[in-house]
Amino acid sequence: MATTKNIIELSENDVDKAFRRKQIYDAVFKKGIVDFSAISTLSKDLRNQLSQKFHILEVNEVVRKESIDGTVKFLFRLSDGKCVEAVFLIDKNNHVTFCISSQVGCRMGCVFCKTGTMGLIRNLSAAEILSEVLYLYHFMTTEKGLKDQLFNIVYMGMGEPLDNFDNVMESISLITNPTFFGLSPSRITISTCGLIDRIEPAMQRFPTLRFALSLNHSIQEEREKIMPIARKFSLDEIAARLKDLYAKFKNRFTLEYVLIKDVNMSKKEIDALQRFRHQAFHINLIPLNHSDDQVKRPEEKEISRFMQELEKRHFCVTRRYRRGADIDAACGELCYRENSNAQDFS
């Protein structure tokens, strides 16, 4: 039995009139329609033909959880039965961010991240990544009623995006394509645990693409204990290479610093951060969003003290406040195992 093709494969051989193809793409990528039968500008016959030959989404919603702060976490099932999570974030000013996954699981093994406990199961395809965005866009426009709303995308869900480089780059090409969403690359952020050799090739393709690098410790030997990737790229290498890229692209880097009690918050760590007190960097403090046998969330007074000390030393620093805490949707908490009960996911 022949399989249907994804909507992004639609060509003039399938729909020969350009204005019809534009109607289809506008319905899907501008209005958030994910069912051909709902595209009222097309004839019933054409809608039936499209339904038989194409599918719009590569993901299916299994279940969702909604936080008291408006954050919504989705569990998506892929065509092979594997699952990933994505998060819809909205603030009090209706600023919207889609947090999407790039892999099922992750092989990087950072001790503070629940996704890393899954190991890497597989990469997502560009079409699957695009489908996450499309589904969240559909949710925003239809269920939230936010039509014509601008949104940002962060590759901060499950997986290390730069470990799935080709598919992530292709997904960004599709997302920024005017035929589809036409989103500016400056509205897209890739979060990486430190694959710095892949940042420049990405910026050569998308010079205004944003990057957030998970730093999390300022002392090399200690960083290696909590982030295995640190053995491949040293802090000196990271600082030097990112400063060079800033000079070339004039695009500031966010350094994500997860605050872990009794691990990375002493004066010694603050002193060692000095190499990153540079106009190329903005430090974003992220208090650990969970505690377990290995890592503990610091107390509020410890968080404030650490941030105040950085401000006194004239670092460019902000704090990320926890969103979706009551549904385990915050940074580092996305994790779904195949033997889990979907109704109780993460």
User: Could you confirm whether 331 is annotated as catalytic?
Assistant: yes
CA distance readout (Å), 163 to 102, 110, 155, 193, 313: 9, 14, 12, 10, 35
Confirm if 207 and 249 have CB atoms less than 8 A apart.
yes
Of the candidates 58, 331, 333, 335, the residue annotated as catalytic is 331
Strands 83-90 and 96-99: antiparallel
Question: Residue 63: is it exposed, middle or buried by C-beta count within 10 angstroms (0-12/13-18/19+)?
Answer: middle
For residue 293, count CB atoms less than 10 angstroms from its CB and return exposed for 0-12, middle for 13-18, buried for 19 or more: exposed
DSSP 321: P
Query: What are the C-alpha distances in Å from 220 to residues 157, 211, 217?
Result: 26, 21, 7
Distance of CA 55 to the CA centre of its chain: 24
Cα distance between residue 311 and residue 305, in whole Å: 10
The b/e string for 85-112 (b: 16+ C-beta within 10 A; e otherwise) is bbbbbbeeeeebbbbbbbbbbbebbbbb
Query: Which of 58, 83, 85, 106 is an active site residue?
Result: 85
Q: Which amino acid is at 80?
A: D
* Distance separating alpha carbons of residues 267 and 157, to the nearest angstrom: 31
Active site residues: 85, 331
